[in-house]
Amino acid sequence: MLRHGVWQAYNDFRLLMPEALCVQQCRGRKRALKAGLSRAERLERRLKREEREAARKQYSFMERINIRRMKNLLSPSQQFPGRLIEENEKDLEDEPACSVFLRKSVKTQYYSISKALEMHRELQQPAMFNNPNAPVKLRMELNMETEKATKMVSASSEIVPIPHPFTHKEKRTILAFVADPILQELAVESGAEIALGPDVIKKIIKGQFRIDDYDFCVAHTDMSSSILPLRGILRSRFPTRINGGLGEDIPAMIEKFKSGVKADIKPDPVYPQWGLCEPVVGRLSMPDEHLEANIQSIVEAVCKHRSPVLGPFINRALMMVIPGEAHFAIEIDKFLPVATEEEIEKLEKRKTGKKKKKETKVVEKADESVDELLALM
């Protein structure tokens, strides 16, 4: 009995020892493989799992698909400041209710050109960004759809002559098609990169002469008939009387195109029905009327690429300053071309004409099948 008592006491004593408080020991054949985790290790694993779940739950399924799409193809239309989608704004108020308002709680406010310029000048004053002579950029969001659903307005790059030129530090290479050698020299003196005669045209068609480097082409009226074969190669750079590239006074034309504004219409690689055009229209230090006239000529030139019957080509025009993120939407409705009634009628006729053809075809087929059945009976 004494031994039993001693053994009990010893057992009780063992409970006080720290080893009794350790984790359950694992006994069995594969003891080493099944060794459990300590509390710290279990906590670590749980934290890692929660982190991973939080990272997963950050975005919903559709958002993750969009993010993956964005990573593969960057859409310039959706990068800052993004595109105006009227549906997203329809719940917001039209006009701000109070004299102080938050931009995100009201629909896009359209400012007049002078008001937008005033606001940009306030930002670029010497006390702030100190850049009063900054170039002003017009970011135009375009709708590239045409009558046919599968066909979009194509990319083009052209130089638009503007009434009030300004200093832009861009290198412009201009090609001059002149027959006379004297006039060729004159052309090169007044700023053309190179002047060509009628003999070089065949080389261009064959491909021996590179014309991709040149931004625009100017031609003398003597050569007007001879450069026609190059129309397909030059496309929007082709000089015609309409865009001012064909004329008698070569130096003046070269001046006009050297100081003109380069307007590139770029379709969006991700969303083909969207497009962008971001020409530099002037400098902040220019007077408001000059900038307005420049903007008018550029907008009119850009809108020529799509028939006005289909709707507004320009979704929204933002005035921005390089470098900077400040942007203000501008009213350019007065510069947009208005579709004439004749054109609208023509478009409707074409649409209804297609519909009628489809209907008559279906009706005729139905009649034929009925006749066949009757014949069988």
Partner 1 sequence: MNPICSKFIKPTVNTICRRIALTQTRNTYIFRHVYVPPVTPEGQHQRPPTELQNYRKYELVEEETEKPAGPLKVILLQDVEGIGHQFDIVEVDRDVARNDLLITKKAAYASPFDLKYYGDMKERMKEELAKRVRIPYEYLKIGRELQKLVVPLHVSMDNPWTLNRSIVTASLRQMGVDVLDNGVFLPKETISGPNFDYEAKLTRFYVVINKQYVVPMIGRISHISADESKQALYPDAAKQPSEEQLRKFGIKPETPYFHSSPEIDENFVVVDLMNSRKKQ
Summarize as ranges the residues that interact with partner 1 (CB under 8 A): 96-104, 109, 119, 122-123, 125-131, 134, 323, 325-326
Nearer to partner 1, 237 or 316 (CB): 316
Q: Are strands 246-247 and 216-220 parallel, antiparallel or unpaired?
A: parallel
The answer for residues whose C-beta is within 8 angstroms of residue 222's C-beta and 6 or more apart is 178, 179, 180
Contact, 144 vs 275, CB < 8 A?
Answer: yes
Position 127: which residue type? A
In the complex, what is the shortest distance from the CB of residue 327 to partner 1, in angstroms, rounded to a whole number? 11
Nearer to partner 1, 102 or 338 (CB): 102
Rounded CA gap, 230 and 91, in Å?
52
In the complex, what is the shortest distance from the CB of residue 192 to partner 1, in angstroms, rounded to a whole number? 35
In the complex, what is the shortest distance from the CB of residue 319 to partner 1, in angstroms, rounded to a whole number? 13
In the complex, what is the shortest distance from the CB of residue 106 to partner 1, in angstroms, rounded to a whole number? 9
Contact, 301 vs 161, CB < 8 A?
Answer: no
Count Cβ neighbours within 10 Å for each residue of 285-307 and write b for 16 or more, e otherwise: ebeeebbbbbbbbbbebbbebbb
In the complex, what is the shortest distance from the CB of residue 153 to partner 1, in angstroms, rounded to a whole number? 33
The answer for residues whose C-beta is within 8 angstroms of residue 236's C-beta and 6 or more apart is 156, 157, 158
Q: State residue 173 phi and psi, 5-degree precision.
A: -105, 125
Nearer to partner 1, 19 or 325 (CB): 325
Nearer to partner 1, 106 or 211 (CB): 106
In the complex, what is the shortest distance from the CB of residue 165 to partner 1, in angstroms, rounded to a whole number? 24
The closest of 171, 134, 113, 124 to 282, measured between CA atoms, is 134
Q: How far is CA 249 from CA 22, 161, 219, 255, 274, in A?
A: 100, 15, 10, 10, 39
In the complex, what is the shortest distance from the CB of residue 208 to partner 1, in angstroms, rounded to a whole number? 44
Q: How far is CA 344 from CA 112, 308, 349, in A?
A: 30, 9, 9
Contact, 265 vs 153, CB < 8 A?
Answer: yes
Nearer to partner 1, 25 or 130 (CB): 130
String of DSSP letters for 348-376: HHHHHHHHHHHHHHHHHHHHHHHHHHHHH
In the complex, what is the shortest distance from the CB of residue 129 to partner 1, in angstroms, rounded to a whole number? 5
In the complex, what is the shortest distance from the CB of residue 323 to partner 1, in angstroms, rounded to a whole number? 6
Nearer to partner 1, 62 or 127 (CB): 127
Helix (H) or strand (E) segment spanning residue 17: none
Nearer to partner 1, 93 or 147 (CB): 93
Rounded CA gap, 311 and 153, in Å?
13
What are residue 33's DSSP bridge partners? none
Nearer to partner 1, 137 or 258 (CB): 137
* Token reading at 76: 């310039």
Nearer to partner 1, 112 or 125 (CB): 125
